[in-house]
Structure 1
């Protein structure tokens, strides 16, 4: 099993080299940090003690509101689209490949790309803060590093749903409509003190931008909700993928 998964993951990584996903997952987080730098420079109180806070808010807001859900949608839509084109699913599955391992390998490679994008965001924020004169001794580790990683966990229900839809439907419009379309209402719903918990697209927003108080105190419980939801959605997709007779 380990060897089979390793070969499949290596194959998926080779496919990525021929796509533009690596460029997108690198450049979009950098763009978000440039927005954060502009926010810092536009602030009336541009003191060293305020740079980290302003930089984080200015970078995290555009990233988690728009870039993050768009990246997740593009990653899973395009990785599935590679196989939907010219009936590559049929060709791939005509080989001695375990369907379940194939499903999991694509899901895992997508998660690694999302993690890579988040690491680019964190490193870019760190570099930008130091270049803008922020005090390294006042670096807010929880906000710059922990919150972005937690937001990946908070994104798991969204990831599971988009991946399920992208493998189920050959037309790229379905996962794109799901991922991008539902991210727009999340901007408004995340501001609601009671309704955001029912809208998974709000979870990474709340995790990255929530201040102290009742909402922040719910983050530990939210992590468990996201993990359990992701496990259930992924299990459903895994079973559906293994039992589906014809993939097109």
Structure 2
């Protein structure tokens, strides 16, 4: 049943601007770093001459948590708004599909869209490094994948929370405001304790044992999904 709901959701997002958002995040981030290295090429290549790829990845990584939180917030909100604007919740939930399946289908679609963004970021980062002439050094493919996907796993608690808020609220002002606030706060995440989940996407790149924070994000994200799905299953819809 969940796959039927997922295929229906996949059709609903066509022409809703979600794919534009999926591409905008990684392209915008890479364009910013392209401009950064383009304007300061001699200085930065001299600074990172021992590890050009590491220098590029560290500059990209600084903005990945913000992009993940903001992108996750907007994707969850826009996806939920498709149902809210069409007032189609009653028709959807009247179908012979459990509410839990509907909730999980929305979650899977959100995660798939963010996965595409992370893949674009990884591929675009390699492309940017080649354009900048860094191919004289070996491309660290594992690090390139880590920059997006390790932080993505660590950001799942906030993404799960945003999905819960977005699906539960007809007015998207509150969930979007929360997401934007968390995105801005994540800029200062390195000053926060490692026990604060908001800092985990940054630590999933920079910490000595980054896998701990990716694993913690996956676990807490799953724990948040449980009350979220229960609340959605029991909530009255308009």
Same fold? TM cut 0.5 = yes
Q: Is the 8 A contact 2:53 2:139 kept in 1?
A: yes
Task: Please list, as runs of the form range in 1=range in 2, the aligned pairs for 1:207-246 lying within 5 A after superposition.
Answer: 207-208=204-205, 210=206, 215-217=207-209, 219-244=210-235, 246=236
* C-alpha separation in 2, matches of 1:136 and 1:241: 53
Give RMSD over aligned pairs: 1.9
1:36 aligns with 2:33: yes
Q: In structure 1, what is the equivalent of residue 132 of structure 2?
A: 132
1:25 aligns with 2:9: no
1:183 aligns with 2:214: no
1:206 aligns with 2:203: yes
Q: In structure 1, what is the equivalent of residue 143 of structure 2?
A: 143
Deviations 1:162-208 (A, max 9, x none): 111111111111110111112212212x222xx33243222112223
Q: Is the 8 A contact 2:65 2:155 kept in 1?
A: no
Q: Which runs of 5+ in 1 are unaligned?
A: none
Q: In structure 1, what is the equivalent of residue 72 of structure 2?
A: 72
Give the TM-score normalised by structure 2: 0.90
Point out the more displaced range, 27-36 or 114-123.
Answer: 27-36
Task: Return closer, same or farther for 1:49/1:106 CA change in 2, 3 Å cut-off.
Answer: same
Q: Is the 8 A contact 2:65 2:202 kept in 1?
A: yes
Q: Which runs of 5+ in 2 are unaligned?
A: none
* C-alpha separation in 2, matches of 1:75 and 1:196: 28
* C-alpha separation in 1, matches of 2:50 and 2:20: 33
* C-alpha separation in 1, matches of 2:183 and 2:28: 19
Q: In structure 2, what is the equivalent of residue 46 of structure 1?
A: 45
Give the TM-score normalised by structure 1: 0.87
* Superposed displacement of residue 136, structure 1: 5.8
Point out the more displaced range, 44-53 or 136-145.
Answer: 44-53
* Superposed displacement of residue 138, structure 1: 1.6
Aligned length: 234
Secondary structure of residue in 2 paired with 1:135: helix
Point out the more displaced range, 81-90 or 8-17.
Answer: 81-90
